[in-house]
């Protein structure tokens, strides 16, 4: 029997009645003393709004102390549904008099049946929940937002359940049977490729940590933070048909690009477009595009030379610099610049940089014979390296001849570049043999060269004199050493252009550390080298005058750069005889106050993934103490390495082999000042 509580004279036990919402109260003997969560009430309200109340409330009439009905009803079962309807009233979705279908129960104990309601039931298995959500999406075409609205959860939660529901049925059954944990199932959900999921599951070792599962599922993919993905971008990749795998259960920092081959093709295509634009603008003979710089190219490299600015460019530069300085002085006290002034600063800086770039240029001959590499840098930007000359494009080396003459392609040329002999060259064979053209012995001794033995004797004495004199003139020795190093560092065949028997060598570090030449530190060194190369005279014969004309600070800087390229502190296991050399390298590091925290960071790839768990814990303990180490001590190796990377980020921790002993002359105040300057 169904009645309305307001009109029925008597209501029997078990009757179904519609009672106005504002006539319902929570039963004081309801077993649930801990309040419903806000999320639970939200979910029930959304469900009721979409589907109505699917389960009746169970109530009993309220009576006063005299046993007389008060007109209100106490809710024994369904308090959460009552609160959900009250929330809908607050939102003005329904009226406070909304009729609620209830069942009258005056026979059972309210405390017992409310306890029974919450105890004698079994929650839906999560696997069933995940699959039912997926069916709603597939069979009814509902999106995550609509499903979320009907069940009172967030769209993100719905997406997670849909992703879990799409896991391979085989693995879902393993989860139902207790063979997988929910965390492990979430790890498998990173991809919807069932075959891939099942393959990884079948090949799991005893270590089934979720991080291992995610690693194995994505090891053929490319992280969104990797340089290729950064360079191409998510939009271009997806527009080309690529798929990005997203992990809805952890922070994936942009996901994983599923098709590395497509990504590589897009990288090359974008680099080729950039290369074509630069080649057309600058006129290089050839251009070669690579993802990684081809360090073993074996080509000579030419560098740009200093050139004078045109009068118009020089005037424009001076005007831009003058205005920049005036604005800097005028707005020096401003904490925040006006938008128009800030924009003008940017325009002036761009103009000054544009004109400064014109101060160095390649020879037209070098551009006509040379080429450039366009590669992908370590930070996901296009990197253009110019001035490489292939062996077949090298200009022929002039052959030496007597009396300042040279022979180029069989033609004798004097010091002014004029051809010697004219047409007589063609008839050389008519003038007799070389022996016939030699001067007669009785023609006099004026033109006869000195004996070789005497020349060797005299020049040995001259060498001795030079050694004695140079050792007494340190400033000139500095010039001579710098000249010898620079000649061999910046010029092809420069080893023959100096008289000091100094042979600088530079070990190829890429053979010892993969990717080292694409680091920020390597780029800084390359830029410094290119800066000096641009200042060098074009002909090595003019190098002495260039070096001798440098001021003392510039001379020392050039010497320091050339010397720096010869440093070798690499430790190889089979070179035990170089122990003293490594000790000297340690002393050098101390002397220059080397701080490797500026050039190296402890990451999983750089360190933690390549050492034992004991080393990882020792590093954390060294940087953060025993408590931090103990927090990760029970983790698996991969998880421990990832945790250590996060814990040590920004701490400045270094492994002992990279640490530098503090110089004895460095005071605490100086150390703090250097640290502030570095930051």
Residue 35 banded pLDDT, cuts 50, 70, 90: confident
Q: Are 75 and 58 in contact (CB under 8 A)?
A: yes
Confidence of residue 320 (pLDDT cuts 50, 70, 90): very high
Domain with CATH 3.90.1530.10 in the chain: 2-119
Q: Which whole number is the average pLDDT over 136-151?
A: 82
Cα-based angle 412, 414, 419 (whole degrees, multiple of 5): 50
**Which pLDDT score is estimated for 445?**
56
Average the pLDDT over 318-325 and give the result.
92
CA distance 453 to 623: 69
Does 442 have pLDDT greater than 60?
Answer: no
Q: How many CB atoms lie within 10 A of CB 484?
A: 23
- What pLDDT sits at residue 575? 67
pLDDT band at 666 (very low <50, low <70, confident <90, very high): low
Question: In a 10 Å sphere around its CB, with 0-12 CB exposed, 13-18 middle and 19+ buried, how is residue 77 labelled?
Answer: buried
The answer to whether residues 290 and 373 touch, using CB atoms and an 8 Å cutoff, is yes
Q: What is the mean pLDDT of residues 586-591?
A: 80
pLDDT score for 269? 96
Long-range contacts of 335-342 (CB under 8 A, 24+ apart): none
Whether domain 2-119 has CATH 3.10.270.10: the reply is: no
> Which residue(s) pair with 102 in the sheet?
17, 57
Cα 605 to the chain's mean position, in Å? 12
Residue with tokens 């389960």: 55
pLDDT tens per residue, range 398-411: 554 455 455 444 44
Question: Which residues touch 498 (CB under 8 Å, ≥6 apart)?
Answer: 480, 483, 484, 487, 488
Q: What pLDDT, on the 0 to 100 scale, is given for residue 438?
A: 46
pLDDT digits (tens, 9 = 90+) for 36-76: 888 889 888 988 898 888 888 999 999 988 888 999 999 99
- Whole-number pLDDT of residue 93: 92
- Looking at the chain, the whole-number percentage of residues with pLDDT higher than 90 is 24
pLDDT classification of 189: cutoffs 50, 70, 90: confident
Q: Are 61 and 104 in contact (CB under 8 A)?
A: yes
Could you write out the three-class secondary structure of 145-202?
Answer: HHHHHHHCCCHHHHHHHHHHHCCCHHHHHHHHCCCCCHHHHHHHCCCCCHHHHHHHHH
Q: Would you say residue 421 has pLDDT above 80?
A: no
pLDDT in tens, 76-89: 999 999 999 999 99
Q: What is the DSSP letter of 553?
A: H
Mean of the per-residue pLDDT values of the chain: 82
Q: What pLDDT score was predicted for residue 412? A: 53
Residues 6+ apart with CB under 8 A from 264: 228, 291
Average pLDDT over residues 462-467: 74
Name which of 529, 514, 260, 512 is nearest 378 in CA terms: 514
Asked if residue 316 lies in contact with residue 355, where contact means CB atoms within 8 angstroms, the answer is: yes
Of 369-378, 472-481, 510-519, least confident by mean pLDDT is 510-519
Q: What is the DSSP string of 565-610?
A: TT------TT-GGGHHHHHHHHHHHHHTT--GGGT----TTTTGGG
Q: Which residues pair with 104 in a beta bridge?
A: 59
CA R_g for the chain: 42
CB 566 within 8 A of CB 505: yes
* Per-residue DSSP letter, 398: P
Q: Are 81 and 46 in contact (CB under 8 A)?
A: no
What pLDDT is attached to residue 388?
Answer: 92
Question: Any idea what DSSP says for residue 107?
Answer: S
pLDDT band at 31 (very low <50, low <70, confident <90, very high): confident
Which of 123-137, 229-243, 525-539 has the highest mean predicted lDDT (pLDDT)?
229-243
The Cα–Cα gap between 160 and 168 comes to 15
CA distance 344 to 367: 35
Confidence of residue 428 (pLDDT cuts 50, 70, 90): very low
Mean pLDDT of 415-437: 45
Q: Quick one: pLDDT at residue 55?
A: 86
Q: How far apart are CA 264 and CA 596, in angstroms?
A: 33
Q: List CB contacts of 506: < 8 A, sequence separation 6 or more.
A: 565, 566, 568
Q: What is the mean pLDDT of residues 222-244?
A: 92
Best-predicted range by mean pLDDT among 212-221, 254-263, 529-538? Answer: 254-263
């Amino acid at each position: 029997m169904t009645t309305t509580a307001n009109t029925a004279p008597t209501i029997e036990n078990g009757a179904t009645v519609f009672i106005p919402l504002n006539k319902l109260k929570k039963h004081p003997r309801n077993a649930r003393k801990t309040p419903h969560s806000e999320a639970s009430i939200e979910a029930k309200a959304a469900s009721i709004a979409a589907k109505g109340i699917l389960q009746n409330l169970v109530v009993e009439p309220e009576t006063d102390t005299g046993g007389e009905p008060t007109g209100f009803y106490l809710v024994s079962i369904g308090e959460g549904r009552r609160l959900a309807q009250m929330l809908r009233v607050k939102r003005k979705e329904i009226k406070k008099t909304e009729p609620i279908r209830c069942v009258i129960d005056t026979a059972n104990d309210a405390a017992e049946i409310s306890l029974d309601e919450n105890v004698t039931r079994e929650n839906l298995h999560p696997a069933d929940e995940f699959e039912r959500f997926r069916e709603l999406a597939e069979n009814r075409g509902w999106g995550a937002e609509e499903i979320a609205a009907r069940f009172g959860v967030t769209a993100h939660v719905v997406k997670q359940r849909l992703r879990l529901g799409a896991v391979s049925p085989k693995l879902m059954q393993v989860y139902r049977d207790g063979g997988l944990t929910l965390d492990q199932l979430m790890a498998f959900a990173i991809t919807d490729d069932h075959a891939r999921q099942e393959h990884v599951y079948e090949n799991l070792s005893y270590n089934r940590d979720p991080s291992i599962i995610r690693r194995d599922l994505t090891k053929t993919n490319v992280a969104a933070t990797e340089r290729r993905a950064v360079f191409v971008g998510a939009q271009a990749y997806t527009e080309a048909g690529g798929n990005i795998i997203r992990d809805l259960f952890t922070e994936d920092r942009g996901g994983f690009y599923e098709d590395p081959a497509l990504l590589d093709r897009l990288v090359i295509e974008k680099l080729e477009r950039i290369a074509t634009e630069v080649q057309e603008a600058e006129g290089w003979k050839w251009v070669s595009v690579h993802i990684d710089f081809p360090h073993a190219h074996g080509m000579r490299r030419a560098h740009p030379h200093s050139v004078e600015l045109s009068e118009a460019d020089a005037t424009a530069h001076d005007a831009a610099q003058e205005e920049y300085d005036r604005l800097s002085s005028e707005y020096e006290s401003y904490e925040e610049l006006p938008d128009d002034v800030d924009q003008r600063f940017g325009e002036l800086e761009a103009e000054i940089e544009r004109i400064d770039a014109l101060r160095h240029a390649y020879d037209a001959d070098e551009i006509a014979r040379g080429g450039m590499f366009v590669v992908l840098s370590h930070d996901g930007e296009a990197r253009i390296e110019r001035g490489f000359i292939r062996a077949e494009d090298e200009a022929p080396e002039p052959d030496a001849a007597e009396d300042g003459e040279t022979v180029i392609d069989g033609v004798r040329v004097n010091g002014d570049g004029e051809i010697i002999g004219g047409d007589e060259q063609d008839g050389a064979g008519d003038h007799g043999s070389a022996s016939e053209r030699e001067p007669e012995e009785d023609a006099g001794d004026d033109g006869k060269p000195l004996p070789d033995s005497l020349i060797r004797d005299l020049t040995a004495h001259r060498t001795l004199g030079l050694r004695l004199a140079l050792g007494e003139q340190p400033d000139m020795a500095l010039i001579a050493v710098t000249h010898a190093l620079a000649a061999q560092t910046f010029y092809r065949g420069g080893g023959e252009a100096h008289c000091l028997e100094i042979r600088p060598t530079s070990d190829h570090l890429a053979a010892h550390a993969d990717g080292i030449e694409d680091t920020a530190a390597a780029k800084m060194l390359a830029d410094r080298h290119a800066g000096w190369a641009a200042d060098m005279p074009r002909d090595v014969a003019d190098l002495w005058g260039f070096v001798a004309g440098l001021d003392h600070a510039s001379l020392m800087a050039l010497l320091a750069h050339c010397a720096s390229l010869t440093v070798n502190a690499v430790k190889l296991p089979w070179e035990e005889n170089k122990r003293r050399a490594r000790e000297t390298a340690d002393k050098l590091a101390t002397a220059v106050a080397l701080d490797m925290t500026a050039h190296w960071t402890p990451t999983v790839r750089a360190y933690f993934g390549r050492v034992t768990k004991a080393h990882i814990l020792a590093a954390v303990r060294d940087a953060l103490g025993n408590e931090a180490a103990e927090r990760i001590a029970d983790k698996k190796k991969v998880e421990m390495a990832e945790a250590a990377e996060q814990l040590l980020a920004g701490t400045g921790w270094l492994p002992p082999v990279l640490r530098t002993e503090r110089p004895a002359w460095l005071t605490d105040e100086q150390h703090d000042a250097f640290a502030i300057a570095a930051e």
